Amino acid sequence: MSTCVTGTEAALRAAACRDGDVATHLKLIAVLVIFLTSVLGVWGPVLLARYFHGKPLYDKAILVIKCFAAGVILSTSLVHVLPEAFEALADCQVSSRHPWRDFPFAGLVTIIGAITALLVDLTASEHMGHGGGGGGGGGMEYMPVGKAVGGIEMKEGKFGADLEIQENSEEEIVKMKQRLVSQVLEIGIIFHSVIIGVTMGMSQNKCTIRPLIAALSFHQIFEGLGLGGCIAQAGFKAGTVVYMCLMFAVTTPLGIVLGMVIFSLTGYDDQNPNALIMEGLLGSLSSGILIYMALVDLIALDFFHNKMLTSPGESSSRLKKLCFVALVLGSASMSLLALWA
């Protein structure tokens, strides 16, 4: 009962800040500013990759950027998205109704999001193993020297050629995996960005919109760096790169415009129980996808399976420490933004 009283008091305070004209003006500014910062964030790593590709430090720089990005994405999911989803479904207007009061749906939908991301990963890996990798087992079956192939004994030169083909197959499978990671990651980020944009677009509270503009600008820069680093490493064609970067850049601004349109046509309140339920469910799903992508496809994949970090040597050890520091800095920088948004 006390939660509902607290919610009523908060609603009274919010009413003092409601000013439709000022809020609309601030939201139009937000559309432009957030679009520009999104473009800056997502295109930065892509353009740097184009310029520095083939240079000695290129692979190491991209790896450090990816580790920073992994920290940003993990923090986004656990510090920003998931708590907001729980808060939306815990609102007294929602939690007092059946079935929302009987079960923690935010946690359940988060699990569904993570398992769905795993299913996509497994399905794509299965496809790459049977078709995308050049035959059964993805072209990864190695044969010892002297083994008969088609009744003809392998010679050293033939074996070397086979090894080269197999290494190319390995590289192609890694590229396909990186492309899949980038695409699924963008889906999770787009879910999150739509929720952010629509929520801001429907809000008439000038007191919350003003600090949100600055906070979301930094948010989009950090998130863009993460996605841009993955896109740069995946080796997409130019048209696909432009499409993916543009989708990230316009999603939050379009979400704001959509929220404004919904409010102007329907007067739909962002504190409406149905709006809170939708926000909570979409946020939970997005959080599950982002948690899986950050932990499994970014952090675990790079720290335990990347040759630059797993090979013995002082250089590898230094790079591993640098990547860990980048991971911590990414997590800390995004977590710090939770003070404002």
d(CA 120, CA 114): 10
Q: Count the neighbouring beta carbons within 10 Å of the beta carbon of residue 44.
A: 17
H/E run at residue 153:
strand 152-153
Give the burial class of 59: count Cβ atoms within 10 A of its Cβ; 0-12 exposed, 13-18 middle, 19 or more buried: middle
Q: Could you report the per-residue pLDDT of 210-233, keeping only the tens digit for each?
A: 777 877 787 788 778 778 877 877
What pLDDT score was predicted for residue 257?
Answer: 92
The SS3 of residue 17 is: coil
d(CA 66, CA 147): 41
Whether 198 contacts 262, CB under 8 Å: yes
CA distances from 304 to 12, 290, 294, 308 (A): 52, 19, 14, 10
Provide the H-helix boundaries in the chain.
2-16, 20-52, 58-75, 82-90, 92-95, 105-127, 156-202, 206-234, 238-266, 273-292, 301-305, 307-310, 314-336
Q: Could you report the per-residue pLDDT of 274-292, keeping only the tens digit for each?
A: 778 877 887 888 788 888 8
Q: Could you report the per-residue pLDDT of 184-214, keeping only the tens digit for each?
A: 778 877 877 887 788 788 777 777 677 778 7
User: pTM for the whole thing?
Assistant: 0.67
What pLDDT score was predicted for residue 108?
Answer: 93
